[in-house]
Amino acid sequence: MGQDEQRFRFLSLLRPIERDLENYSRRMVFERCDFEDALQNAVLRAFRAFDRYHDDASFRAWMFKILTNEIFAMNRKRGRVAQFEIAVEPQELEEFAALDFAPAAAGPISWDALADALDEELLTALQSLNQSERAVLLMRAIGDLRYREISECLGIPIGSVMGNLSRARQKMRDAILRARRRSL
Amino acid sequence: MMKCAEVRKFVRLYLDSELDTKESFEVEQHLESCAECAGLFEAEKKFDQRLGRFLRDDLPTRTLWEKIESQIAPSRSRGIKALWPVALAASLIITAGAVFLARSRPLDLARAVEECHSAYAHQITTPEFSGTVPEKIVQQFGGRLDAEAFAYRPSERAFTSSGARLCHVEGIPVALILGRCAETPVSVIVFEKSELDHFPQTKRKLESGDPIACSRSGRFQFAARVVDDHVVCVVGDEPRPALEDLLKTVRRADG
């Protein structure tokens, strides 16, 4: 494949997911100013490796993996993370399920009444997530990746993906409960 | 048939589309018959939607992406004099490609409403009401929408509607009329014409003399036009001509 043709094909796959990649990068970097560099480095790195990308794989998952590696490297440089944290034991399905439903059990939520308080609390909660919880949550919520794809991206077992996702969601749910208490 | 405890174990996996067809079907069957589990399921869905809105709300920064895309290495010529016909052909291909990409890029409004329709097509969004707009919903318009927006319907016979709901697209309140053409989900999205300023590409297209602005976003076709003081969009997994024809039949029920 010629380089122009390759470039054209790469861009046609990249453009539909630019928004998701940018949202992911913005929320994953520990220093806000790093998000542009992370995106730029990841896209250039992906283009250079594009001849190794195979059509039968998901381009979205492939790009998220490259971007995630780039972001982890940047976060490491900032000295906030010594290495990729996988301080998780694979979770049993029972536990995964048991952590859910807390806000629902606390009664119905009037989302509109929470308004700005909710965004504030969600942002605080997002910042409190460790790197692996944050990556898993964002890959699922922004990247729309399957558990298997996330597990391959991060090189961790599916059980750890589920455990991280569960804990991350629980922290975000707690944020909703805090916002609700504030609005009462 | 699954029991409550089993379903609750699977609901999160169901929402993440991690179950196989058989398990999904069993969860759906249980939710239809158990109000308590259905309530928990709805709460989870709302949580997902709200979290999703918080996390993926920002639009891409065009200037940043233009800069990044421009750095993706263009072709390098080896001896320009000998290769000028190749260089010319390449530049023509790039130009044609750029024109093709510019044309194939979804319109801003098409991209913005895609998520609304996608949520409906995947049965995440359901109607809030049918008939007259309830007062509690009118109160949420914030002066940026009127109840008339909910009165638009295609007069095409094949279109049936199960109801409507208030949604927000890029922070703009819109009437979302949930319908079907035969079996295919089709959304009709209506908002005030004055809000068109938020979608400059679509505005330019509609003001350039085209009565209908069309685009594809994701796997859905999109068509929009101005009717009275409103912008009416139809979105669905339908052939573009069919969607355009449907849009042409949209009228306000009271007028």
For the stretch B58-103, pLDDT in tens is 788 888 998 898 888 654 444 444 455 555 566 666 666 655 554 4
Alpha-carbon distance B187 to nearest alpha carbon in chain A (angstroms) = 21
Extents of the domains making up chain A? 3-77, 93-183
Query: Which residues on chain B are in Cβ contact (under 8 Å) with A23?
Result: 55-58
What confidence tens digit (pLDDT) does each residue in A78-134 have? 765 433 333 333 343 344 444 344 444 455 556 565 667 788 888 889 988 888 899
Same domain, B46 and B114: no
CB contact under 8 A, B51 and A19: no
Alpha-carbon distance A138 to nearest alpha carbon in chain B (angstroms) = 8
CA distances from residue A162 to A11, A33, B31, B35 in whole angstroms, order as listed: 32, 30, 23, 27
CB contact under 8 A, A4 and B90: yes
CB contact under 8 A, A44 and B71: yes
CB contact under 8 A, A100 and B73: no
Show the domain range for B172.
108-252
Q: What is the reported pTM? A: 0.53
Q: Are B36 and B30 a contacting pair, CB within 8 Å?
A: no
Q: Is A64 left (phi over 0), alpha (psi -120 to 50) or beta?
A: alpha
Beta-carbon neighbour count of residue B232 at 10 Å? 25
Please, which pLDDT band fits residue A22 given cuts at 50, 70 and 90?
very high
Query: Which residues on chain A are in Cβ contact (under 8 Å) with B111?
Result: 19
Whether B202 shows a pLDDT value over 60: the answer reads yes
Place of tokens 């409960």: A177
CB contact under 8 A, A94 and B72: no
DSSP class of residue B151 equals: G
Residue B34, in any domain of the structure:
yes
The C-alpha atoms of residue B171 and residue A32 are separated, in whole angstroms, by 24
Say which residues have a Cβ less than 8 Å from residue A13's Cβ, sequence separation at least 6. Answer: A59
Whether B237 shows a pLDDT value over 50: the answer reads yes
Alpha-carbon distance A92 to nearest alpha carbon in chain B (angstroms) = 11
Whether B42 shows a pLDDT value over 90: the answer reads no
What is the number of structural domains in chain B? 2
Same domain, B140 and B209: yes
| Three-class secondary structure of residue A55 per DSSP | coil
Note the maximum CA span of chain A. Answer: 63
CA distances from residue B62 to A31, A70, A107, B58, B88 in whole angstroms, order as listed: 21, 21, 42, 12, 28
> For residue B251, which phi and psi values (nearest 5 degrees)?
-135, 160
Residue of chain B nearest A120, judged by CA positions: B54
Q: How far apart are the first and last CA of chain A?
A: 62
CATH fold label, A3-77: Rna Polymerase Sigma Factor; Chain: A (1.10.1740)
Residue of chain A nearest B49, judged by CA positions: A141
Residue range A93-183, CATH number: 1.10.10.10
What confidence tens digit (pLDDT) does each residue in B110-127 have? 888 887 787 787 776 788
CB contact under 8 A, A23 and B58: yes
DSSP element (H, E) containing B214: strand B213-217
Q: For position B201, which CATH number holds?
A: 3.30.200.100
Tokens representing residue B60 in the block:
């891409």
Is B8 in the A-facing interface, judged by CB distances under 8 Å?
Answer: yes
**Shortest CA distance to B177 belongs to which of B152, B144, B145?**
B152
Nearest CB among A4, A141, A166 relative to B51 is that of: A141
Q: Higher confidence at residue A181 or residue B166?
A: B166
Length of chain B: 255
**Shortest CA distance to A60 belongs to which of A148, A139, A168?**
A139
- What pLDDT, on the 0 to 100 scale, is given for residue B255? 44
ipTM comes to 0.76
Q: Are B213 and B202 a contacting pair, CB within 8 Å?
A: yes
The C-alpha atoms of residue B54 and residue A118 are separated, in whole angstroms, by 9
Same domain, B52 and B168: no
